[in-house]
Amino acid sequence: MEDFDDRDGLIWMDGRLVEWRQAKVHVLTHALHYASAVFEGERSYGGRIFKSTEHSQRLLLSGDLLDMPVPYSVEQIDAAKALVLQVNGLTDAYIRAIAYRGAGAEMGVAAVSNPVRLAVACWTWGAYYGEAKFKGARLDIAKWKRPSPDTIPSAAKASGLYMICTMSKHAALARGFSDAVMFDYRGYVAEATGANIFFVKDGEVHTPLADAFLNGITRQTVIGMLRDLQIVVHERHILPEEMEGFEQCWLTGSAAEITPVGEIGPYRFEVGALTRRVAAEYDRLVWA
């Protein structure tokens, strides 16, 4: 695999298309030191970015939640993403938009006067979980928990909130797993390190209530899709021991798409008919 700083292509940075290898920031960029950054991960299918506007809207919301207003409109961000796809000659790709507090006159915790920058890149990216997308991912149980929403802006897709996700996934990979499930500060099942989670029991779907973690756009899409199919969906708090009684499980996310889960720690799940149906319906939707 190519290193991400050594590729051909163009990256959009504050209104300019920059050669990939020259898309750089200063070492004293505020975001590098204080995690003052928000981002979006999106996919395009056949040249169309799925839910592009919803992602751009959430990017602006995330910036506001971090007291870091992004100086671009939804329309400008949508246009930048479409342009990046076009100039790189890609139709089926992953798109990353990131807004961050740049270098400026301040280099402490407070940096109100520093400019907020925006960059957009795209690249080809296959199944996030590799073969697990078809066979069922193996998940560990993380030791780190999602914090209380009165300690972090849990509705923001903020870079700093992923630190414990990185640590948890590294630990899981070292133990031979694809990922890890995280509980929240109360001990309820929350999500995987970069994807939301769903369970099936007796033909009905159960998913953790998104009150302490990001309510993913793919998560919302799948819930709406299930209800359109007349499948009962329970958004609720789920205790870890309840996983023993669930029959099927899958993950959702822009990168993960719909990925079945075969095991979480000591719990086992089948890649059943409903999981396969949801994956097929989601594929139909994004390629429509």
Tell me which residues are annotated as active site: 157
Which amino acid is residue 194, in one-letter code?
Answer: G
Measured CA angle at 31 (ends 26, 35), to 5 deg: 150
SS3 132: helix
Secondary structure E strands in 79-115? 93-101
Residue 144's Cβ-side half-sphere holds a number of Cα atoms within 13 Å equal to 18
Whose CA is closest to 168, among 126, 128, 132, 140? 140
Q: Which two tokens stand for residue 44?
A: 């395009």
At 156, which helix (H) or strand (E)?
A: none
Q: Which position has the token pair 């076009």?
A: 86
Return phi, psi of residue 84, to 5°.
-60, -45
